[in-house]
Structures are given as C-alpha cells and as structure tokens.
Amino acid sequence: MNRWLLHPASKPLLFLLALGPLAWLVAGAVNNTLGANPAEALIRSTGDWVLRFLCLTLAITPLRQWTGWTALVRLRRMLGLFTFFYGVLHFLCYAWLDMGLDVGDIVRDIPKRPFVLVGTAALLLMLPLAATSFDRAIRALGGARWRALHKSVYAVAVLGILHFFWMRSGKNDFAEVAVYAAVLGGLLGWRVWKKFRARASTQVSA
C-alpha cells in the first residue's frame, strides 16, 4: 500500500476525487436534479462534505499508525485544504442562496442564529490552518508553533458538530449528527488516549 501511496499519480487522483462532489452538485444544479429546493440541497450538501473531509483528515494519523501505511501522511495536507475549500463553498452558498449576498443582512444574521455563528467561527478557525499548510509557512513558524496552531482543528471539529446539531434541531432530526459526532469523537478520543498513555509511560520510566 505504501508503494501505491507514494506513486506520483496518488495526489492528482485524490485531487480529482475530492472535486467529485463539487462536480456532482454543479451538474445537479445545471440539470435541475437537486430536488424541490435546490438552494437548500446545495447548502446542506456542501456542509456535509466539510464534515466528511474533516473526518478523513483526522483519520490519517490513526490509520497510519494502525496499518503502517506511513505514506498516508502525504495526503493529509490536501484533505485538510479540501475541508477548508468545501467550508468556503458552504458559506458562499449560504451567503448567496440564503442571504442574497447582502453583506449587511449577513453580518446581522450571523450573531442572531447560533448555528450560523458557530459555523462561521469554525470557518474562521480553519482560515489560519489553510494559510499555514505550506512548507514555507511551516518553516517560518517553526515546528512547535505550527503544531500548536494546528491543534485548533479539534475546536473546528467540535464547532462543526455543534453547528450541525443546532441546524438539525429545528426538525428534531439527529441521526446523521450522531454518526458524525461518534466518528469525530472517536478520532479525538483516540488522540487524548494516546497522549495520556504517552504521559503515563514517561512518568513510569522516570
């Protein structure tokens, strides 16, 4: 598997696959196959893909350690950037299709609706992560500060689930929320467990 992951075509293939949802949504909008409410379908679908790419990004490290597929780390940056990309699309769909690109209405609406507020906060937290995902930024920040900054992805995950929960609370439909919460909770819980075990091991050896 490492050989396949190290193949020069692996990143271009992932790039094309990651653009697949966007292509499907654009085709659906052009062909009018997104259902009775295309605007709602676009807003919700782009939001779903933010959570899916976030899950994939956070799954890279545990998968790499469990399977020994060390080359998976090559794909983490691209998955993280696509998480931000679909986050931007999600916000733009809301701003355009729900708010008519009226900046004043958007500014007033964000603090008025809690699920919009936490969703916007999650997107703003992703902005510095995307901006510092490149090698030059990593060198400029230094490894320790870069890792500390990118730990805010955990806050993004929590805010993303809260955004989804509040958005679905109006219809009392929490089935999908529970699935994403379980996946992200498991991925974040694994990190906490690893950190706790490493700290306990250090104390024992000392």
Instruction: Give the pLDDT band (50/70/90) at residue 162.
Output: very high
Helix H, strand E, coil C: the string for 168-185 is: HHCCCCCHHHHHHHHHHH
Per-residue pLDDT tens digits for 62-82: 999 999 999 999 999 999 999
83 within 8 A of 126, measured Cβ to Cβ: yes
pLDDT above 70 (res 169): yes
- The DSSP secondary structure of the chain, one letter per residue, reads -HHHHTSTTHHHHHHHHHHHHHHHHHHHHHHT-S-S-HHHHHHHHHHHHHHHHHHHHHHHHHHHHHH--GGGHHHHHHHHHHHHHHHHHHHHHIIIIITTT-HHHHHHHHHHSHHHHHHHHHHHHHHHHHHT-SHHHHHHH-HHHHHHHHTTHHHHHHHHHHHHHHHHHTTT--HHHHHHHHHHHHHHHHHHHHHHHHHHHHHHH-
pLDDT above 60 (res 206): no
Other CB atoms within 10 A of residue 199 CB: 10
75 within 8 A of 8, measured Cβ to Cβ: no
The values of phi and psi at residue 135, to 5°, are -60, -40
Average pLDDT over residues 115-132: 96
- Residue 159 CA to residue 174 CA, distance in Å, equals 16
pLDDT above 90 (res 172): no
Percentage of the chain beyond pLDDT 70 is: 97
Helix (H, G, I), strand (E, B) or coil at 36: coil
